[in-house]
């Protein structure tokens, strides 16, 4: 039985609607008969990733983004629906990249190094996508820094006094480099072997030093200031003694009476000494005669009296 016109139109509409639904489901990543498996990826920010976005690994489509869910903690859970024949290894890292000129967001999975496969329902820690806004902000900050540097350079180059200082510094650096070159040339001409031998001889000589004698020498040197002080006092006393002798000799030369008085004193001292010797002999040898003892004492006193008168 042939279909009438209304039935044909209705069938066409049903087919078109079915195709639209299937297409929308395919774009959204949904599958009526899905024999693959699903994993999850956790991100801090997905940069506008939408359900149905392609999932690729090494540039090959391996699935679609199923759902993009926001957790209460502010993190984003992305459910990835992978094809049945795709197996990801442990350690795989999902990242968000841009596909095409229009900037459509997609999931790119970096293969893991381990050989053990991931099981369905595993949650992977994703890498945040590159933020264009952050790039623009960093670029603006960099441009501001470059502008400040160029302004500073312009001010420095316009300062004539600073230019003169820079030129002087350049000349000084050239002089220093020339001196260093000359010094290195002189070093190359030095016989290092001779210097080493001399140092060895010095070291050998130092090892032969008797440290006890050296300590005695150092002790003597430490006592030298006190010795010098005593010697200085002695010389000062000699100076004063010499001055008194000079005065005494001058008086002797100027006045003959002083020399005569000294001669008389010496003459008077001789009998006094004799009397003292006789008196001491009598006291030592035995009981002296009292009369003789008094006589000797009287003579001695007279001699002392005459000496004092002479002085």
Distances in whole angstroms, Cα of residue 16 to Cα of each of 19, 30, 310: 5, 19, 169
Give me the pLDDT at residue 59, please: 86
Whether residue 116 sits in one domain with residue 67: yes
- pLDDT in 10s for each residue of the chain, 311 residues: 456 777 778 888 889 998 888 777 766 655 555 567 889 999 988 888 888 889 999 888 998 998 899 999 989 999 999 888 888 888 889 998 887 767 788 899 998 887 788 888 888 988 877 666 677 788 888 888 888 888 887 777 777 777 778 788 888 888 898 888 887 777 677 666 777 877 888 877 767 666 666 666 666 656 556 656 765 676 676 667 667 767 766 665 665 565 566 666 556 656 655 665 665 555 555 555 545 555 555 565 566 556 555 54
Q: What is the pTM of this model?
A: 0.39
In a domain, 41, yes or no: yes
276, part of any domain: yes
Q: Which of 109, 131, 153 is the last residue of a domain?
A: 131
Residue 198 tokens read as 């001399």
Same-domain status, 99 and 44: yes
* Helix extents (H) in the chain: 5-27, 132-158, 160-189, 192-207, 211-254, 256-285, 290-310
Last residue of a domain, one of 131, 149, 171: 131
> CA-based Rg of the chain, rounded to a whole angstrom?
63
Instruction: Note whether 3 and 66 are same-domain residues.
Output: no
Which residue range(s) make up the domain with 1? 1-32
Residue 88 and residue 2 in one domain: no
Distance CA 22, CA 15 (A): 10
Looking from the CA of 285 toward its CB, the CA atoms found within 13 Å total: 8
Residues 5 and 94 grouped into a single domain: no
Residue 224 lies in a domain: no
Q: What is the per-residue DSSP string for 282-309?
A: HHHHS---HHHHHHHHHHHHHHHHHHHH
Site of tokens 């003579």: 299
Question: Does a structural domain hold residue 245?
Answer: no
Beta carbons of 90 and 112 less than 8 angstroms apart: yes
Domains identified in the chain, total number:
3
Domain's final residue, options 101, 131, 161: 131
Q: Does 84 fall in a domain?
A: yes
Residues 56 and 107 in one domain: yes
Q: Is 31 exposed, middle or buried (0-12, 13-18, 19+ CB in 10 A)?
A: middle
| Inside any domain, residue 189 | no
Residues 58 and 109 in one domain: yes
Query: Residue 281 belongs to what H/E stretch?
Result: helix 256-285
What was the pLDDT predicted at 1? 46
Which pLDDT score, from 0 to 100, does residue 43 have? 92
The C-alpha atoms of residue 300 and residue 76 are separated, in whole angstroms, by 139
Residues 7 and 63 in one domain: no
The answer on 24 and 103 residing in a single domain is no
How many other C-beta atoms are found inside a 10 Å radius of the C-beta of residue 148?
10
Residues 62 and 118 in one domain: yes
Q: Confirm whether 126 is domain-assigned.
A: yes
Q: Distance between alpha carbon 161 and the CA centroid of its chain, in Å?
A: 35
Residues 19 and 38 grouped into a single domain: no
Phi, psi of 289 (to 5 degrees): -75, 130
On whether residue 59 sits in a domain, the answer given is yes
Q: Please check whether residues 87 and 19 belong to one and the same domain.
A: no
Q: Which residues pair with 99 in a beta bridge?
A: 104
């Amino acid at each position: 039985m042939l279909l009438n016109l209304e039935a044909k139109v209705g069938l066409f509409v049903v087919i078109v609607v079915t195709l639209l639904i299937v297409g929308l489901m395919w774009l959204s990543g949904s599958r009526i008969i899905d024999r693959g498996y699903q994993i999850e990826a956790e991100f801090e920010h997905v940069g506008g990733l939408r359900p149905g976005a392609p999932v690729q690994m090494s540039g090959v489509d391996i699935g679609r983004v199923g759902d993009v869910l926001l957790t209460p903690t502010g993190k984003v859970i992305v459910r990835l629906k992978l094809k049945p024949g795709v197996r990801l290894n442990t350690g795989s890292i999902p990242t968000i990249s841009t596909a095409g000129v229009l900037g459509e967001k997609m999931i790119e999975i970096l293969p893991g190094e381990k050989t053990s496969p991931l099981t369905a329902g595993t949650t992977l820690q994703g890498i945040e996508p590159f933020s264009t806004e952050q790039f623009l902000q960093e670029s603006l900050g960099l441009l501001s820094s470059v502008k400040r540097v160029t302004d500073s350079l312009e001010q420095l180059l316009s300062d004539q006094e600073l230019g003169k200082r820079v030129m002087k510094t350049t000349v000084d650096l050239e002089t220093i480099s020339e001196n260093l070159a000359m010094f290195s040339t002189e070093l190359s001409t030095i016989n290092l072997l001779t210097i080493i031998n001399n140092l060895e001889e010095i070291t050998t000589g130092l090892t032969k030093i008797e440290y006890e004698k050296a300590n005695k020498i150092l002790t003597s040197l430490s006592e030298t200031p006190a010795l010098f002080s005593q010697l200085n006092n002695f010389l000062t006393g000699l100076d004063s003694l010499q001055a008194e002798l000079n005065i005494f000799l001058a008086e002797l030369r100027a006045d003959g009476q002083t020399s005569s008085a000294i001669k008389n004193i010496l003459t008077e001292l001789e009998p006094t000494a004799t009397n003292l010797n006789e008196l001491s002999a009598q006291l030592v040898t035995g009981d002296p005669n009292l009369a003789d003892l008094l006589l000797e004492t009287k003579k001695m006193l007279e001699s002392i009296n005459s000496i004092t008168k002479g002085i």
